[in-house]
Amino acid sequence: LTQFKVLSSALFCYLLLGKGQSVKQMVALGMLMFSTVVFQGSWKEWFVTWKKDNHEKTNAAQSISKTSKHFNHEIRQTQYNRNRRHKFFFGVLPCLGATLLSGLAGALSQRSLQTQVASMERSAYFYTVEISFLSAVCLGISMCMNWSWQQRHNSSNEKPDSLVSEKRNHLFHHWTVGTLLPITTKATAGLLTALVHRHLGSVIKGFALTLGLVFSALLQFIFEDKELTSGQMVGTSLVLFSSWLHFTNPSN
């Protein structure tokens, strides 16, 4: 379900910016979404889940034919329906909501960066600073709330010695020089994302993210001697073909 982000980005770019996709480009977006599923092997999990659901339905159908087990069948059917509702409301709906919000955020980011007022243009670098500041504020509020909850919990449940050891820890207690590597990489990725939104759009970012999976697999093959699976090779072919199809058939 998370692979629908590319389609949601295209949908909101059309609704908010009026930028449509040609028929071949929409086919390319569908192929890109499918290539990610094949590349990551998600289809195997879908098949296992589908097979398990069919097995449960078969057992329920067999049990209903036996009148002596009618009550047990009703219990199993109720449990089965409850599990399905739980998966739908706490699994499917949150994923779909996150996918739609991701596409909406990408379209709004693209509109903000590509909107020009008179001779003034939005700077992708300053936009990255704004987003980073807001993210830091939200993270700080979350950390303060978590620290406050832990203080209340520790004051009632933990011993004084453990409280002293907790106070010795600080924000940068577990930091090392290697910690700067993911921080720097994340910051660079945020800047590059803003530049992609500024010059190419949020739909193209979906192709870039998928190509990132391909490059990650190639790096693991080169430096870690990790063999490429058949799904990764097929998914790579689909990614390259869908990219060519999308870029060579622009909308009118």
Token code pair at residue 81: 């329906």
Closest CA to 17 of 119, 124, 109, 128: 109
What pTM, to 2 d.p., does this model score? 0.70
**Residue 121: phi, psi to the nearest 5?**
-120, 150
User: What percent of the chain clears pLDDT 70, i.e. is strictly above it?
Assistant: 76
Q: What is the pLDDT of residue 68?
A: 45
Q: What is the pLDDT of residue 232?
A: 84
Average pLDDT, integer, range 227-246: 88
Check whether 100 has a pLDDT greater than 80: yes
Q: Which tens digit of pLDDT belongs to each residue from 144-181?
A: 888 888 878 776 665 555 544 555 566 677 788 888 89
Average pLDDT, integer, range 215-230: 85
In this prediction, residue 6 has a pLDDT band, given cuts at 50, 70 and 90, of confident
Structural contact between residues 204 and 193, judged by C-beta atoms closer than 8 angstroms: no
Of the two residues 163 and 44, the one the predictor is more confident about is 44
Q: What is the pLDDT of residue 27?
A: 93
Q: What is the pLDDT of residue 92?
A: 81
Closest CA to 29 of 246, 249, 210, 235: 246
Q: Amino acid letter at 118?
A: A
Q: What is the pLDDT of residue 75?
A: 66
Compute the mean pLDDT over every residue in the chain, rounded to the nearest whole number: 80
Token code pair at residue 242: 């869908």
Listed in sequence order, the residues at least 6 apart from 177 whose beta carbon sits closer than 8 Å to its beta carbon are: none
Q: How many CB atoms lie within 10 A of CB 99?
A: 19
Angle at 25 between CA 22 and CA 27, to 5 degrees: 115
Q: How far is CA 77 from CA 54, 88, 95, 251, in A?
A: 13, 16, 26, 50
